[in-house]
Structure 1
Amino acid sequence: MNKSLLKGIGAVVIAAAIFAGGYTAGQRVREDNIISALPRKTLDMTEPPQTLTPSPQPTAGNTETQRHEKNITEKNSKTAVQDGWSEVGKANIKLGENSNAAVKLYTSAQKDENGELMWDDGNMWLLEVEKNGEYYALINKYIQLGKVDFSAGEDENGNVSITAVISTGTGVTVEKYTYNGTVFEGQTVYNSGSLNVTGSTF
């Protein structure tokens, strides 16, 4: 093969390489221009999705906070006892200086001719303080398959405190009531939560 032919072939190869390189560069420029012209939303669709971490949801409320929320019982000029209800417990206390009061526990269960209580599956229960014609209904509610017990007394400083135990077929609640000179402040000091009670001495 003569030198002239070799030179010609070499020139063709070089030209082809230059053409291919220019074509590739041109394609890249055109692609960059197209991408730059796309709307931002379109560009975002081409980006890989971000993994979002859900923010923590608020809980139903702190149990300890709910447990120590205070309920206020103000005086009433009339008793909450209904006709036919039975008194099942009583304690005498002092509210203030030389001021006698009585803590009484009632239930809607009536007594038979022998004085025995005729319990239903559920009964109304009322724990009420009576002082000089004024009444404080500390507990007044319907209780299913359960009862109310209470104790009343004074601490070493003479502060009156009444503790009630409410037992049902699904748990036990202990409530404490204190007198501040005007009203009774009550709070739940223990709550067993929902239980399947299989035995109890209450």
Structure 2
Amino acid sequence: MRQIPKRWLLTAGFVILLLVGSLVLWRQREQRKVHPLTPIFPSSLLNQPFPVPATDLVDLNGDKLKDSEMRTGKVVLVLLSEGCGPCIEEGKFLGSLGETRSDVRFYGIMPFGKDHTSLKSAVSRFPFKLYFDEGGSVVQALHLDKLPIKLYLQDGVLKKGWGGASFDSARQTDFKHWLESV
């Protein structure tokens, strides 16, 4: 049996590393392209009563988020995942905003993963109260399929929604100005 020369093995290993590295960089660049203020709902869905009749949003202690918490006042729901890089960056950005507006409540919703396991690992990464969507009610009712997503509710009415993360300062400034206007 003939042995493969070391040079070929090293070359093959280098090519594989190059391809994997390129794929990772491409994926990160593609994720950053999504504009955070891109509306994710047609205008016909906005200004309608929030279409989730009942939610099963549970925190780390097993306590459910009261339905009235989402249907009174100004609420920003942030759908995210603990292993999602853009979600973590979005959490940092939104956490700083949550401290400036006491009249707007920020809740993190994790629609995917293993309920308590996902919440335990995510608690230290996100600066607002986190809930797990046990029944998938929010995601299913709104047909959401990407993260992070921000939803703005006012007195139980879905007013605005955005898909993607706010990576650059211009997008962050746009969102800050919008938040100041509500």
User: Which category describes the TM-score, using the shorter chain as reference length?
Assistant: under 0.3
TM-score, with structure 1 as normaliser: 0.24
Q: Higher strand proportion, which one?
A: 1
Task: State the structure with bigger RCO (CA 8 A, min sep 6), 1 or 2.
Answer: 2
